[in-house]
Amino acid sequence: MGKMETLSPGNNSLSALQSPDDYIKEYVNLSPPEAEVLRVLIPVLNPEGYDVVATVIHLHPPKKLQIFIDRTENKTGDLGLIGIQDCVKVNHLLDQPLETCPEIDAIFKGPYELEVSSPGLERPLSRIRDFTLYTGEKTRIHTTRPLSAEEIQNEPYAKKNPKQKNFLGLLQGVENGSIRITIPLAGFTAPEKGRKKAKPGKPAPSEEIRIPIQLIAQAQLEL
């Protein structure tokens, strides 16, 4: 197995956990290869003060393993932002563990690029606690399929948007296994030409829907 390294700088919290599997349970809808990668990353990076925010595995050429890191217990930047020096350090920390792990070799079956970076402003939301930590933030969520009225818990909205799989709104937290998100009403989605604006001092009209956690394919903050 071989890998090429790419560094790119561009932040989440982690409590002391007994094993990688304890941490992995927090992630939303991990694939088996993603879980294998985390089992390698977590024991190496967490003791060094780094939190694994998300990983992305690209198996189509050019093959790539993307790792998004932050400092542990870091939402507001009190511990400093992730910089290029952190990316270099993490690359060096992971060099031998990744090179010598047969499970990683089985995933990529040959050379691949390793890319370490900060999550950036449009950070992935990959763990259940992320959806609580970033309550009130503008968020985009992609689902694996369209949602039923029962799943979305808003029958009028489901009837108007029966095929929707891409949702953009304000995150409102987690409740009973679903993500709560408020969606702007049609015509108030953005201050563009031909679209209505909310009156000054008033929030744009919106309605709340629910998205079952098990149906989330991808989620991230949105600028």
As a whole number, mean pLDDT of residues 85-108 equals 96
**73 and 142 within one domain:** no
Provide the mean pLDDT of the chain: 86
List phi, psi (to 5°) of 37.
-60, -45
- 175, β-bridge pairs: 178
The DSSP code for 127 is B
| Number of domains the chain contains | 2
Query: Residue 3's pLDDT band (boundaries 50, 70, 90)?
Result: low
Question: Do 89 and 183 fall into the same domain?
Answer: no
State mean pLDDT over 80-93.
92
The domain in which residue 190 lies consists of 130-221
Task: State the pTM of this model.
Answer: 0.80
Looking at the fold, whether 148 and 79 belong to one and the same domain comes out as no
At 205, the pLDDT band (50, 70, 90 cuts) reads confident
Say yes or no: 138 and 108 in one domain: no
Instruction: Count CB-CB contacts under 10 A for residue 28.
Output: 20
Does the residue 122 lie in any domain? no
Q: What does the alpha-carbon distance between residue 124 and residue 114 come to, in Å, rounded to a whole number?
A: 18
- Residues 169, 131 contacting (CB under 8 angstroms): no
pLDDT at 103 over 70: yes
Q: Are strands 64-71 and 112-117 parallel, antiparallel or unpaired?
A: parallel
pLDDT at 87 > cutoff 80 = yes
* Confidence label for 5 from pLDDT (cuts 50, 70 and 90): low
Residues 106 and 26 in one domain: yes
Residue 212 bridge partners (DSSP): 178
My answer on whether 37 and 68 are in the same domain is: yes
Q: What is the pLDDT of residue 187?
A: 55
Report yes or no on 102 lying in a domain.
yes
